[in-house]
Amino acid sequence: MSATLPTGTPTDMLIGGRWSAGVQGDFAVLNPSTGAEIARVPRAGQDDVARAVEAASAALPGWAATAPRERAEVLRRVFELMIARREDLAYLMSLEMGKSRSDARGEVTYAAEFFRWFSEEAVRIGGELRTAPSGANRILTFKRPVGVALLLTPWNFPAAMATRKIAPALAAGCTVLLKPAEDTPLTALLLGQLLAEAGVPDGVVNVLTTDRPGELVEWALADSRVRKLSFTGSTGVGRVLLKQTADRIVNTSMELGGNAPFIVLDDADLDAAVEGAMLAKMRNGGQACTAANRFFVQQGVAAAFADRLAAAMGALRMGPGTDEETQLGPMVNAKQVDGIARRVAESVAAGAKLLLGGTRHSGAGFFYPATVLTDVPPDAPAGRDEIFGPVAPIIPVADEDEALRLANDTNMGLSAYVYTGDLARGLRICERLEVGMVGLNRGLVSDPAAPFGGVKESGLGREGGYEGIEEYLETTYVATQW
């Protein structure tokens, strides 16, 4: 299939209901399977950001006052449009991000579900009436939208990371500025078009593109009308943004780095553990914040698990993301490949053994093969750093206590995975893991109906579930004489 965009894919920014070329030039979007340019999109300037904030601010009172059922019906229509355009969205993500078509189709279904879930939550925003302890008066509370929200999304899930933020924001009555990652802006622009088709009023959703995110965020956060920041990305960038939002005390939600441990104990069903590992490690080519990053396997089953995992990973067909036969697509860019290759080489030099892969692809595109390392020292880069690629470092452990000690020995705490044949043992380990989410005998934790988020340096707040809409609401308390 030629690298052409799906029919009707916008390549301009969406500001106040109109498509805009911007005032500061443009930049190239590359196909990571080939390295070739597939489109050019605008680089937002300060005037563009100002217009977007003005549009979102002007649209806020009307959208916030829109009946919850009406907001819900709009969100439901977005869900239906995404399902109807599933193939176009999936192809576009495979083209600009490199993920396999099967992964991309799964993402569209997952991403669309956020609109259906939050369409149902929009009509359940409530408040409370309580009696004060003294009995002399009542305490009345109600919820209202935070206001204009700045949404910053990453490149690895171009659709789902946008919908996971847009859907609850709109359900709550907020208006938004969406800034997608520079590597994957096209999916966000097509989502903007679908939102408009579904009946989202002009100015409620604005999509700004740039390859200079720092200056765009600085301009937006300097405007007092922007009252919310939601960011998904690296912990390092999250620290910078927290410092910026502190100046104006902006309401902030963050989903940051993962470095997830995957624990396999000696009573685990190894076939099930390998199947779960393939999901947890190889979904999206390992480029996921929830990806299994460090495999702590009890010594008695470590060799058998490594051999089975290497066989499964080695059987994956690597190729262009847009090819139907591809099971492992490219990494998103050359920088990503360089980081993976460096960590693998340094880990081997530190004593890890290469069981599979480990050799860089020499042709066009940003590819790195499925790689399994065994006997990895815990302090080697592959045992310490978040690799964000198709590399599985296996670290043998003596027992569950050692597995837990090593699993928790990180500043991050997003997700974890545990495989054991003893449910009580598994639940005991889940309670001791310092993470926000655990897959117990499951290789997938993401669910629009579940609260997604981490602890420690993996973020603030939760997305999805009943909790997700609360990130875009504020509570007002009314003291009554009654």
Catalytic residue numbers?
255, 289
Which whole-number Å values give the CA distances from 90 to 100, 110, 112, 311, 328, in the listed order? 9, 12, 12, 28, 15
> Using CA atoms, how far apart are residues 174 and 151, in angstroms rounded to an integer?
12
> Using CA atoms, how far apart are residues 349 and 371, in angstroms rounded to an integer?
15
Q: Which H or E run includes 309? A: helix 299-314
Residue 457 carries which side chain, given as an amino acid letter?
E
Closest CA to 359 of 374, 340, 376: 340
Residue 95 carries which side chain, given as an amino acid letter?
L
Contact status, residue 270 vs residue 427, Cβ threshold 8 Å:
no
Residue 128's contacts (CB-CB under 8 Å, 6 or more residues apart) are 139, 140, 141
Closest CA to 10 of 46, 39, 50, 48: 39
Residues in the chain: 482
Q: What b/e readout covers 336-359, taking b as 16+ CB neighbours within 10 angstroms?
A: bbebbbebbeebbeeebeebbbbe
